[in-house]
Amino acid sequence: MDANVKTNRTLQVERTIKALKKNNIDARFLETMDEVVPSVTSLLTKGESVAVGGSVTLKETGVLDLLRNGDYTFYDRYKPGLDKEGITEVMHKSFFVDTYLASANAVTEHGELYCVDGTSNRVAALLYGPKQVILVVSWDKIVPDLVGAILRVKQLAAPANARRLDTGAYCVESGKCINAHCDANNLMALTAGACEHTICSNYVVFSHQQIEGRMKVLIIGESLGY
């Protein structure tokens, strides 16, 4: 990356971290994904219970392998052999773990986290339940404001995830949301019945947190996830 571009990105990260901390969300910057596993390890205690939300980023950074190393009680939604009922049971147990790990769909420079879910087990656990939440996000997910966050999901994150999950949603074929050119009155949710197989069922903005430090954000200076 060009040094001048990198400087701009670093300044954006600094602004974002400062805003997150004002919202009682701990945040730190890691230059490369090689720093992720050591950083996550430092935030965990051996023997504690952990679970994860669906995340390409956690897989790419090696966090899933870390949680599977035997040091933790890991409720693994990806464990081979789990049927639909087994996965649902894991998701229910995830609400009571010591630490829940996931990623966010976008982070604004105002210090907000933006997440859109289908089943919504991820956003439910992020909102309440687990004692600690750790979010691992690429600096590519930083946007100026909530409008940018919404459009990022509709034009990039949702189509990529829908394709990965083979949902049959409209955006799998089009590469963008059916409401990609929505106006200010229809910015977030789809028109009723517009996309039968949508994975964008619930939209959550995390702003000022009541429990200081419960949510922790690790921002990585690389392109990762969706």
**Which whole-number Å values give the CA distances from 99 to 15, 28, 39, 44, in the listed order?**
27, 18, 14, 8
Kindly list the domain boundaries of the chain, sorted by start residue.
3-108+130-142+210-220
190: left (phi over 0), alpha (psi -120 to 50) or beta: beta
Q: Are 60 and 36 in contact (CB under 8 A)?
A: no
Identify any residues that bridge with 133 across adjacent strands, giving them in sequence order.
100, 215
Neighbours of 65 (CB within 10 A): 11
How would you write the pLDDT of the chain (226 residues) with one tens digit per residue? 888 888 898 999 999 999 999 999 999 999 999 999 999 999 999 999 999 999 999 999 999 999 999 999 999 999 999 999 999 999 999 999 999 999 999 999 999 999 999 999 999 999 999 999 999 999 999 999 999 999 899 888 988 989 998 888 888 888 888 765 555 566 676 677 778 888 888 999 999 999 999 999 999 999 999 9
Structure tokens at 116: 């859109």
Tell me, what's the pLDDT at 182? 56
Tell me, what's the pLDDT at 124? 97
DSSP 82-117: --HHHHHHHHHHGGG-SEEEE--SEEETTS-EEEEE
Structure tokens at 76: 């693994």
Tell me, what's the pLDDT at 82? 92
Tell me, what's the pLDDT at 1? 80
Tell me, what's the pLDDT at 11? 95
CATH topology of domain 3-108+130-142+210-220: Rossmann fold (3.40.50)
Q: Which residues contact 5 (CB under 8 A, 6 or more apart)?
A: none
112: left (phi over 0), alpha (psi -120 to 50) or beta: beta
**Of 145, 129, 137, which is closest to residue 225 (Cα–Cα)?**
137
d(CA 44, CA 68): 13
Q: CA gyration radius for the chain?
A: 17
Tell me, what's the pLDDT at 155? 87
Q: Which residues contact 55 (CB under 8 A, 6 or more apart)?
A: 101, 102, 103, 136, 225
